[in-house]
Amino acid sequence: MNRLTIINARVVDKPGLHTLHIEGEHFVARHSHSMTETETLDFHGALVLPGLLETHIHLDKACIIDRCCQQTGTLAEAISETARAKAHFTEQDVYQRGARVLEQAIVQGTTRMRTHIEIDPVIGLTGFRAIRRLQADYAWAVDLQLCVFPQEGLLNNPGTEALLCEALAQGADLLGGCPYTDSDPHGQIQRLFALAQQYNVDLDFHLDFDLLPENRLIETVIAETRRHQWGGRVTVGHVTKLSLLDREALHALGAQLAAAGVQVTALPATDLFLTARDRFALQPRGVAPIDELARCGVTCSLSTNNIANPFTPFGDASLVRQANLFANVRQLGTADDLLRCLSWISSQSAVLLRLTDYGLTPGCLADMTVFDVQRGEQIVAQIAPPIRGFKRGRQTFFRPQATLFPATLNKDVITQ
């Protein structure tokens, strides 16, 4: 059995240097056998997080930007261009592109991920099958949670519901929603709640994804969450409409979300890229103000959403970069603010994903992302790259420090 002692580690919430004990796949209070059988690793004061958590990404449509035509940069174009590319997706193609993103995410310190997967009569279960293979093949580094959803609509797209049910029967973990593409947005929300109850799975909606004050759906999600007693099992992503609200209205809605147990994910990269395309001067930021919602008691997270596709044509799978981006957009700069941003890619995301084994305490899964900083806020402020990662007690990557070659250094040393 794997027995590891980590010495001289810093953690976010306790000052000083700490020792962590790992046995098998978990942290333990102390080792059950003599220290001679235990490997010891000196972290030299580096800071340890219990893994970074991606709560919302689309592996199936990542890395397709070279197949798409971008003219308007709008959400409508992103959906239509992706649908055009999707018609040619094969299982191997989805697998290879997803693997590329997963390998990027692993070295950025991500240890668990909820990926959305598009299901409709054109793609069928092709994307789902590819991602399920990735789930098995990359389990050494990342736990993948599979969220199947009807990107092209549910009630307007016959055959989609049966495919979603088939995916759930074959091991999908939860249902996603995309009511804004449905002919009956309220009807889609109601139908997905009914299915979630039938299959006993959580829900994760793409919701209120524009900057228009009308046609808000978040109240419908709150009402359905209450009606089905699904509190703590429902997440809404984007909700860019919330950025239109003044303080009083936002806090009133935040109190309702917290009371109902509806959780919110901000996706700053996509939202900044796609929204307000009709504006020239003073473009609004249009990012869900989860910092204000968290003050109301709402469980929140920050995530990547898309990489190299018409929804977000760039990205390196760094959650720390998303936290820094959000801090910048929302003008959050104090140490406490930056620590909250860090929590939305780690500890708060664990609450949102309902993880019961997340942390550095005995009994938790021994996942670790290690940074060469002294304080947690520096990770976000500096966009610090992780220097090593662990999954279930086993090291998954190591990033050596960059080497400087001062002018005084011998040429032979540099070329070695």
Which residue of this chain has its Cβ atom nearest to Zn ion in the complex? 305
Interhelix angle 319-329/335-343, rounded to 10 degrees, is 130
Nearer to Zn ion, 64 or 360 (CB): 64
How many residues in the shown chain lie near Zn ion by CB under 5 A? Answer: 1
Residue closer to Zn ion (CB basis): 305 or 369: 305
Please report, as residue ranges, which positions from 245 to 304 form the binding site for Zn ion (by CB under 5 A): none
Q: Which is nearer to Zn ion, 147 or 320 (CB)?
A: 147
Whether 388 and 395 have beta carbons less than 8 Å apart is answered as: yes
Nearest to 242 by CA among 209, 274, 268: 209
Contacts of 89 (CB under 8 A, 6+ apart): 60, 123, 126, 127
Q: How far is the CB of 120 from Zn ion (least distance, A)?
A: 15
- The widest CA-to-CA distance across the chain, in whole angstroms, is 73
- Residue 130 or 266: which CB sits closer to Zn ion? 266
- Count H helices, E strands: the chain? 14, 16
Nearest approach, Cβ of 151 to Zn ion (angstroms)? 9
Q: Which of 306, 232, 295 is nearest to 273 (CA)?
A: 306
- What is the closest distance, in whole angstroms, from the C-beta atom of residue 303 to Zn ion in the complex? 8
Q: Please report how close the Cβ of residue 290 comes to Zn ion at its closest, in angstroms.
A: 15
Residue among 284, 193, 197, 182 nearest 236 (CA)? 193
Which residue type occupies 211?
A: L
Task: Report the nearest approach of Zn ion to the CB of residue 208 (Å).
Answer: 13
CB 238 within 8 A of CB 267: yes
Interface with Zn ion in residues 364-393 (CB under 5 A): none
Structure token digits, residue 376? 């947690």
Q: Based on CB atoms, which residue is closest to Zn ion, 312 or 369?
A: 312
By C-beta, is 126 or 305 nearer to Zn ion?
305
188 or 305: CB nearest Zn ion: 305
Distance spanning both ends of the chain, measured CA to CA = 39
Alpha-carbon distances, residue 206 vs 37, 44, 202, 326, 403 (angstroms) = 50, 43, 14, 19, 44
Site string for Zn ion, 295-324 (x = CB under 5 A): ----------x-------------------
Q: Cβ of residue 237: shortest distance to Zn ion, in angstroms?
A: 6
> What's the min distance (Å) between Cβ of 102 and Zn ion?
17
Q: How far is the CB of 299 from Zn ion (least distance, A)?
A: 18
DSSP codes, 274-301:
HTTTT--SS-------HHHHHHTT--EE
Would you say 109 or 176 has its CB closer to Zn ion?
Answer: 176
Q: Summarize as ranges the residues that interact with Zn ion (CB under 5 A).
A: 305
